[in-house]
């Protein structure tokens, strides 16, 4: 790290910007916070695009460099669209096929059997047509 960054008393966000681009799976979005899984640092952008940092180490003491905020916000938006939206869609899709417990499976089977029974009675011909003598 150069003395320039120490004197400026701000975080150089280039490593995070690069990680969002080249290691997207290292991040996750939970409750509005972007979480970097390996370090457990959390980040949130406010409506003006300013970054809040939550970390258990000294990283949270400094603010992000002001001249990098726009690049970071752009990298985050690209990550959210190009990576995270796809992950979330796949998770939601997979949840539709998740195994269910015995009680839920029994209730589902009972409901499906009832639907078949009701649908079958609607599709059946009236008894007068079935029982009428053939001419």
Q: What is the pLDDT of residue 126?
A: 54
The reply to whether 135 falls in a domain is no
For residue 106, what are the CA distances in angstroms to 28, 101, 103, 115?
Answer: 36, 9, 5, 14
Helix runs in 40-84, H state only: 69-79
What mean pLDDT comes out for the span 57-69?
86
Domain count, the chain: 1
The reply to whether 91 falls in a domain is yes
Contact 23, 16 (CB under 8 A): no
What mean pLDDT comes out for the span 83-90?
96
The reply to whether 132 falls in a domain is no
The reply to whether 61 falls in a domain is yes
- pLDDT for 130 beyond 70: no
Strand partners, 43: 34, 53
Burial 93-107 (b: 16+ CB within 10 A, else e): eeeeeeeeeeeeeee
The reply to whether 88 falls in a domain is yes
The reply to whether 129 falls in a domain is no
Residues making up the chain, counted from first to last: 135
pTM of the model: 0.67
Percent of the chain at pLDDT exceeding 70: 83
User: What range defines the domain where residue 47 resides?
Assistant: 3-124
- pLDDT tens, residue by residue, 104-123: 888 888 998 888 888 776 55
Mean pLDDT, the chain, as a whole number? 84
């Amino acid at each position: 790290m150069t003395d320039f960054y120490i004197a400026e008393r701000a975080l150089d966000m280039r490593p995070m910007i690069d990680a969002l681009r080249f290691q997207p799976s290292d991040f996750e979005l939970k409750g509005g916070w972007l979480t970097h899984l390996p370090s457990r640092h959390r980040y949130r952008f406010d409506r003006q695009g300013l970054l809040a940092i939550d970390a258990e180490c000294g990283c949270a003491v400094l603010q992000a460099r002001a001249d990098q905020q726009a690049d970071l916000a752009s990298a985050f938006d690209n990550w959210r669209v190009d990576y995270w939206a796809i992950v979330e869609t796949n998770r939601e899709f997979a949840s539709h096929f998740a195994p269910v417990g015995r009680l839920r499976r029994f209730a589902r089977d009972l409901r499906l059997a009832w639907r078949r029974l009701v649908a079958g009675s609607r599709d059946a011909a009236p008894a007068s047509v079935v029982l009428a003598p053939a001419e």
